[in-house]
Amino acid sequence: MYELKSVAKRYTRGKETVDALVGVDLTIADGDRLVIQGPTGGGKSTLLQMLGGLDRPTSGEVVLDGTDMAKLSEARLTKVRSENIGFVFQSFNLIPTLTAQENVETALVPLGVKVKERRERAAEALRSVGLGERLGHLPGEMSGGQQQRVAIARALVKQPKVLLADEPTGNLDESMRDEIMDVLETMWKELGLTFIMVTHDSSIAKKAPRVATIRKGRITVKENAAS
């Protein structure tokens, strides 16, 4: 379970200071599904970075399962990320020289999984997103939708508690978007993980049980009755 208490993030560039997050309080229960929306530059990605342990708040607490990530050492934070948090990025962020299977394996490398098991688990993850026939393909040989599926497999292969997705359908056309959202929704339901997604897409937001909106660093959360 996530608990954010009075989280603030201030960036300083020269004499200019930007308050990306201002007094954010947020609770996300295990297995919850939260969509974060808001205008560009409003602080969505900054919030996602705090939740993913990629950045630290200027003040406040980001508590995951009772541990304040803001106070962890870099090594401990890296460990938390490698074990508990899966990321899906808008631009897929696959390693262009590695095959689909090898890309998925990169998520298991920091866990010290043996090569054979790593390969098997990566192949299984790819099969689960419908890419069983594409294990040896390089990212450049696949469509955008297929690349994002590889990225989803990479995020989920380590069986994380949390899946963070930053505009996962932002670079995809409509049919691909639906395809990817179906995959993500299925995984969320099957694996029972906490799913937090940043998106500009209102149609996706409408389907989420909770929607957080960030404007000028301030957050408002509303339950979505329609979902």
Partner 1 sequence: MFFTYLRRELRRRRKAALVVASGLALGIALVIVVNSVSSGMGKAQDKVLQSLYGLGTDMTVTKAAQPQASASDRPRFQFDAQDGDSEAEQSTDRVLVQGFETLSTATVAKVGKQTGVSDAVGGLSLQVIKVSGQFTRGQVQQGEGGGQEGAAPGGQGGGTGQPQGEVQGGGADFDVNNYSVYGTDVTEPALGPLTSSKITSGRTFTSSEKNAKVAVVDSAYAKEKKLKVGSTVTIKSVKCKVIGVATADSGDAAANVYIPLTQAQTLSDSKDKVTTVYVRATDSQKIDSVKSTIQKNISGTTVTTSADLADTVSGSLSTASSLATSVGKWLSIAVLIAAFLVAGLLTSSAVSRRVREFGTLKALGWKSGRVTRQVVGEAMVNGLLGGALGIALGLAGAYVVTAISPTLQAQLGGGGGTGGGGGFGGPGRQAAARTLDVALTAPVSVTTVAIAVGLAVAGGLIAGAFGGWRASRLRPADALRRVE
Binding positions for partner 1, rule: CB under 8 A: 40, 45, 48-49, 52, 54-55, 74-75, 78-79, 81-83, 87, 89-91, 93, 95-98, 102, 105-107, 109-111, 115, 154, 166-167
Least distance from partner 1 to the Cβ atom of residue 196, Å: 13
Question: Closest CB to partner 1 among 91 and 227?
Answer: 91
Least distance from partner 1 to the Cβ atom of residue 62, Å: 13
Rg of the Cα trace of the chain?
17
- CA–chain centroid gap for 150, Å, is 14
Least distance from partner 1 to the Cβ atom of residue 52, Å: 7
Question: Closest CB to partner 1 among 29 and 109?
Answer: 109
> How many other C-beta atoms lie within 10 A of the C-beta of residue 161?
19
Question: Closest CB to partner 1 among 29 and 95?
Answer: 95
Least distance from partner 1 to the Cβ atom of residue 88, Å: 11
Question: Closest CB to partner 1 among 1 and 98?
Answer: 98
- Measured in degrees and rounded to the nearest 5, phi and psi for residue 93 equal 50, 45
> SS3 string of 13-38?
ECCEEEEEEEEEEEEECCCCEEEEEC
